[in-house]
Structure 1
Amino acid sequence: MINLSPRISVQILLVLACLVSPSAWSQEFRATVTGRVVDAAGLPIPGVTVSATNTQTNEIATAITSADGVYSLPFLKPGVYTLAAELEGFRKWTQERMQLEVGQTVTLNMTMQVGSISETVTVIGESPLIETSKADRGMVIDNQRVTELPLNARNPFMLSYLAPGITYNGPAIYQRPFDNGAIADWSINGGQNRNNEFLLDGAPNNSIQGGNNIAYVPPVDSVQEFKIVTNSYDAQYGRTAGGVINVSLKSGTNTFHGTAYEFARRKALDSNEYFFKVNNREKPDHRLDQYGFQVDGPVQIPGLYDGRNKTFFMFNYEGYKEATPNPATYTVPDAAQLRGDFSNLRDAQGRLDRTPGKRTVGPRSVPRQRHSRQPHRPDGAAALAVLPAAERLGAVR
């Protein structure tokens, strides 16, 4: 028998707490299927093997019903599943193409019929799965909408607009993936701005810098789906005074998939701005490239390891390059002023002071006169040489 001192015991407990704490602090993003298995008379059937098979990865989760016929299948990644229940003396019960979403808890009761286990009862045309085991309510943005709906700057969080009760309070020009502060300006169901929790696969994704920003915005092609919880009464959501946005990332399947993309903006494709039009100005030479690639599939090392049905990967790279000219208007000396003639000097509104002999500049008056041109000092001549020429003489812009 090994006796441990109290100090060593406390140290061991602290190490175990550190190992366990990350999962304890995070909110669950995976789905759960629970329910009760009964016979035709409504009596519970204990000992039934209930399994859920992911149709894309062939991963199988199993559970055995209790004496009350109750089963629970937790920690199911979002996706499409085939659910089955079997027990000797009863026909096998199956339901195919059952879609499970991020953070969903589904109650699915089964009624098994007496017969041979080789016989199968397949349930089709089932009514939509109802979530009655949890108090939170919200909307799931599925993978089809994530990948196919157009997105300004390809920021998946902006699809939260689709959910009722969502108000985005940030400027429309700052929706790029790295505008972490502006894209956190959400108000959900009338809650205060920036009082929401962002989760990435159940882990906290908030940054305290700048007032509750988003820490990381994943590329669109790496997102499986996400759920916007607008009524966060479930006990696991306790760090928000507004709503919760829980993003689930892709994890790969038994088949290799990949995408490559390039989203470009060029001067020739952009429309001209109003003020450039009225001033007969050319469009600025704006350039934007948002590009990358994504690949996922089973982990395979030829001759060493085959990860199909058990080990998967997903990798996504995205680059963003933007060159945005910033046209500006400056006041520069015109040809007359370079010659020393300031008789046409005007104020900020373009008005010429017609007071005889005087010109008001700021708080003081100076004589209105022409100065004979004197040779410039070398430093002054160098400064004048780099001044741009005035494009619109006498105009104020």
Structure 2
Amino acid sequence: MKRIITSLFLGLLLGLSSAYSQGTTATLSGTVSDEDGAAVPDAIVTVRNDGIRWQRETTTNSAGDFTLSFLPPGRYAVKAARQGFLATEIKDMALEVGAQLSLKIALKPAGPAESVTVTAASAINTAPSVSTLINRQFVESLPMNGRSFQSLIILTPGVVLTKTGFGEQGQFSVNGQRSNANYFTVDGVSANIQISGSATLNQTAGGSIPGGSAGGGTISLVSIDALQEFRIQTSTYAPEYGRSPGAQVSIVTRSGTNEFHGTLFEYFRNDALDANDWFNNSLG
């Protein structure tokens, strides 16, 4: 009896971890066929992320279909190989947080060449939700007030910033929902724990921590230097997003690489740097 209870408990934990992880990872599925469109079963499909030296592989079924789930966001090389065919590799494929992509790979018969390399391939996004992705390129290219990604959140259609009080900066409403109906996850873990004025922990949806951070709101979730990308889903969520009716914000932090890197910033504000107003200009 004790063994059965332990097995059920472990199964529940694994199920919960999978549900959380699915929201902050990517899924790649597809079909491997020959040049005539016939399915190629038992083909080995490998996805490789050279930035973090990580790879996974799977085998196509009798219909030539494959699925690779829980892939960390990043840029991948996808390779399909089968005896009697040239191995085909698709390079520089971007898999973003929450993405569900479908890919078709056509293998050519074996010949003098050992492999075929494709530098760009069109993948179909099969995710049912309406969402907006903000990646690292936006973070590095756009100016942000207060070093918070709040200014990037408003790029999403249907998002409106709401009036806030002390410790509630970064609150926003999506499609008319209340600002406390938004749900945040950071690397698959719920980030909606709020510390109230009485120093008690409460599960809230605003993403603010007024008792634990002077900034509060989205400012306290992730440092802008640690942010890799995030996706805001505004409607037709998948089953794993069933807790709050507002926006589902999935945040992914940056991972380490094989090279040393870092950032440096400085904040300076002085009246001497302000532009002249109309009255100063009129006086010369």
- Specify the TM-score bucket, using the shorter chain as the normaliser: 0.7 to 0.9
Residue matched to 1:217: 221
Distance 2:251 2:14 in 1: 22
Alignment of 1:312-327 (within 5 A): none
Whether 1:150 and 2:143 are equivalent positions in the alignment is yes
Alignment of 1:212-291 (within 5 A): 212-214=205-207, 216-266=220-270, 268-269=272-273
TM-score (norm 2): 0.81
Residue matched to 1:136: 129
Pair 1:18–1:270, CA change in 2 (3 A): farther
| Contact 2:144/2:151 (<8 A) preserved | yes
1:213-248, Cα deviation, whole Å (9 max, x unpaired):
315411101011111111243111101211111111
| Contact 1:92/1:117 (<8 A) preserved | no
Residue matched to 1:92: 87
Whether 1:39 and 2:30 are equivalent positions in the alignment is no
Deviation at 1:117, TM superposition (A): 8.4
Identity of aligned residues (%): 32
Q: Which has the higher contact order (CA 8 A, sep 6+)?
A: 2
Deviation at 1:146, TM superposition (A): 1.1
1:42-83, Cα deviation, whole Å (9 max, x unpaired):
211111111111131231111111111111122221111111
Pair 1:180–1:156, CA change in 2 (3 A): farther
Whether 1:193 and 2:169 are equivalent positions in the alignment is no
Whether 1:80 and 2:75 are equivalent positions in the alignment is yes
Comparing 110-119 with 87-96, which one deviates more in the overlay? 110-119
RMSD: 2.6
| Contact 1:89/1:117 (<8 A) preserved | no
* Unaligned stretches of 5+ residues in structure 1: 1-5, 273-397
Distance 2:226 2:205 in 1: 24
- Amino acid of the structure 1 residue aligned with 2:37: G
Pair 1:71–1:14, CA change in 2 (3 A): closer
| Contact 1:91/1:117 (<8 A) preserved | no
Residue matched to 1:204: 190
Residue matched to 2:58: 63
| Contact 1:88/1:116 (<8 A) preserved | no
SS in 1 for 2:265: strand
Distance 1:207 1:240 in 2: 14
Whether 1:16 and 2:21 are equivalent positions in the alignment is no
| Contact 1:207/1:213 (<8 A) preserved | no
Pair 1:17–1:125, CA change in 2 (3 A): closer
CA radius of gyration, larger in? 1
Distance 1:157 1:120 in 2: 46
Q: 1:169 aligns with which of 144, 162, 168?
A: 162
1:98-124, Cα deviation, whole Å (9 max, x unpaired):
111111111001111111485322224
Residue matched to 2:169: 182
* Unaligned stretches of 5+ residues in structure 2: 197-203, 210-219, 277-284
Distance 2:18 2:68 in 1: 19
Pair 1:21–1:76, CA change in 2 (3 A): closer
| Contact 1:91/1:115 (<8 A) preserved | yes
TM-score (norm 1): 0.59
